[in-house]
Amino acid sequence: MNYYNEIKNELINNEITKKVKDYSKNRSDLTTYYNVGKLLSEAGKRYGEGIIKQYSIKLTNELGKGYTITRLKYMRRYYEVLTKGPTLSDLLSYSHYCELIWFEDFNKIEYYIKITIEQNLSVRQLRERIKNKEYERLDDITKEKLISKKVTTVEDFIKNPIVIKNNNNREIISEKVLQKLILENLPFFLKELGNGFTFVENEYKIKIGNSYNYVDFLLFNYEFNCFVVVELKVTELKKEHIGQIEVYMNYIDKNLRKITQYKTIGIIICKKDNKFITEYCSDSRILSKEYKLV
C-alpha cells in the first residue's frame, strides 16, 4: 500500500467536502482524521517513527501549511485512542477530542465526552473543566457508578473540593465575603455542584419560632427534583453546623417541598472537612465539601 497517497487523498477529499457540504463538515473531519491516523499508525509500524516527518514535509510542499509533525501525531493518537474504547460522537468536534486524547485513563475521557454532549460545552469550556480537574474531584464511588453505568444521584457529582473563583484576591474572613464571590460567578458555582442546579435565592429568610434565620443559598435541582440548602463556613466543619443545616432542611421540607418532590439535600461548604463529625452524622442527605479558591 502507498500510505502517503492514501493519506493525501483523504485530506484532499476532506477539504473538498468542507467547502461544498457545510452541514457535514464535522463528521467529515472526524472520519478523515481517524482514517489518516490509522494509515499513519500502520506506516509507522512498517517504516519507523521517522516516516511522520517525511510525510509532514511532503504534505506541506504539496498541500500547503497545516500538516506539521505535531498535527500528524495528534491524528495518529486520535485513531489509537478511539480504537481502544472511548465512544466517538459527532456531537464533539475534532478540536474537542484533541483536548482529551492524551489522557491515559479512558474512563476520564468518557466522562468529559459525556459532559461535553450533555452540557454542549465549547472547546474553551471543556479546557477549563479539565484545568480545574473536575474528574479527579469526583469520589471513587461516583467514578465506579459511571464505569458500570449504575444509577447516579444528585450527591454523586458534587465536587470535592468545590472550586470558587476569587478574581479579586479577596481575603476570606467571613461567610459574607465567600457568598459574594459565589454570587459574582454564580453559573460557574452551580456547574461545580453538578447538573441541573438552579438558583432560588441567597439569604433565604425562614422563621423558626419567634426568630428569623437566613439560609446562605437555596437551590433547586430540576434533574433530581429536590431543593438544596447550601451553608457556607470559613472554618473547619463543626458538629453545630450539622445541626444548623438539618433544621433548615427540615423547614424547607415542611414548608416548601411538594408531595411530588424528593427530600431536601444539604451541602456544607467549609474551609476544612472533619471526617470524625461526618462519620457520625445520621442523615445521609447532608454532605460536607471543602472549598478551594482560584
Altogether, the residues listed in the chain come to a count of: 294
CATH number of 154-293: 3.40.1350.10
Contacts of 235 (CB under 8 A, 6+ apart): 270, 271, 272
Q: What is the pLDDT, as a whole number, of residue 40?
A: 97
Pull the grid cell for residue 20: 461544498
Q: What is the pLDDT, as a whole number, of residue 23?
A: 55
Considering the entire predicted model, what is its pTM?
Answer: 0.86
Q: In b/e form, how buried is each residue of 45-65, taking b as 16+ CB within 10 angstroms?
A: eeeeeebbeebbeebeeeeee
- Helices 69-84 and 25-47: angle between axes, nearest 10 degrees: 100
Round to whole Å and give the CA distance between 217 and 214. Answer: 9
Q: Are the C-beta atoms of residues 243 and 232 closer than 8 Å to each other?
A: no
Q: What is the pLDDT, as a whole number, of residue 162?
A: 96
* Annotated domain spans of the chain: 1-84, 154-293
Q: What is the pLDDT, as a whole number, of residue 18?
A: 73
- Radius of gyration over every alpha carbon of the chain, rounded to an integer in angstroms: 25
Average pLDDT per run of 10 along the chain, which is 294 residues long? 91 82 77 96 95 96 92 97 86 96 95 93 96 95 93 92 90 91 96 94 95 97 96 96 96 97 97 85 89 93
Contacts of 44 (CB under 8 A, 6+ apart): 51, 52, 76
Query: Count of H helices and E strands in the chain?
Result: 12, 6
| Dihedral class, residue 163 (left if φ above 0, else alpha if ψ from -120 to 50, else beta) | beta
- Cell numbers 444548623 correspond to 244
200 DSSP assignment:
E
- Cell numbers 500528524 correspond to 72
Q: Please spell the DSSP secondary structure of 16-79, one letter per residue.
A: HHHHH-GGGHHHHHHHHHHHHHHHHHHHHHHH-TTHHHHHHHHHHHHH-SS--HHHHHHHHHHH
Q: Are the C-beta atoms of residues 271 and 143 closer than 8 Å to each other?
A: no
Round to whole Å and give the CA distance between 204 and 206. Answer: 7
Round to whole Å and give the CA distance between 109 and 100. Answer: 6
Q: What is the pLDDT, as a whole number, of residue 20?
A: 66
Peptide bond into 187 cis (omega under 30): no
Round to whole Å and give the CA distance between 269 and 228. Answer: 13
Pull the grid cell for residue 193: 455542584
- Cell numbers 495518529 correspond to 76
Q: What angle do CA 220, 221, 225 make, to 5 degrees?
A: 100
Round to whole Å and give the CA distance between 229 and 264. Answer: 7
Note the pLDDT tens digit of each residue in 67-92: 999 999 999 999 999 998 777 888 99
Q: What is the pLDDT, as a whole number, of residue 130?
A: 97
Which residues in the chain belong to E strands, given as ranges?
162-164, 197-208, 211-221, 226-236, 262-272, 286-293
